[in-house]
Amino acid sequence: MAQTVMTGRAPGLWHPPLIAAGAALLIGALATDIFYSQTADMQWANFSVWLITAGLILALLAGVALLLDFALGRAGAVSWVHLIALAGVALLSLLNVFVHSRDAWTSVVPQGLMLSVLVAVCLAVIGWRGWSVTAVRVPAKGGRS
């Protein structure tokens, strides 16, 4: 019989590293937005779009990995609050990439920069618990599962 145990880290699950990598890219977009607002060099705005897009791609891959974790029986109970919060951040990031697709200064300042700040703060709060949205399923004592 398998037990479900919540742990701070989630060894063996595939989705947490993908969520963490995507979060790093989305937080990096805040840095490039700040650089753009200080320099008006359009390449920083391009970097922001690339980082947000790559972060969204990793979010999609994390979703697929989460489904695989469930299908293979590696994941336990879902933290619905955490999952919904990460989905909300993904939707904000999708809106942010659309804002960043505009031309010139308005592609970043002020809406794009504010969205990047909001996404980064949300990810910092969500990431405090760790990047797994599920419990880890571990075998019961005695070695049987």
61-104 pLDDT, tens digit per residue, is 999 999 999 999 889 899 999 999 999 999 999 999 999 998 88
Are the beta carbons of 126 and 82 closer than 8 angstroms? Answer: yes
**Within-domain flag for 144:** no
For residue 4, the model assigns a pLDDT of 53
Q: Is the pTM of this model over 0.75?
A: yes
Q: Quote the number of domains for the chain.
A: 1
Structure confidence at residue 40 as a pLDDT band (50, 70, 90): very high
Residue 145 falls inside a structural domain: no
Domain that holds residue 70: 2-137
Q: In this structure, is residue 15 part of a structural domain?
A: yes
Q: Which positions ≥6 away from 6 have C-beta within 8 Å?
A: 76, 77, 135, 136
The pLDDT assigned to 138 comes to 65
Residue 10's pLDDT band, with cuts at 50, 70 and 90, is: very low
Check pLDDT > 50 for residue 28. Answer: yes
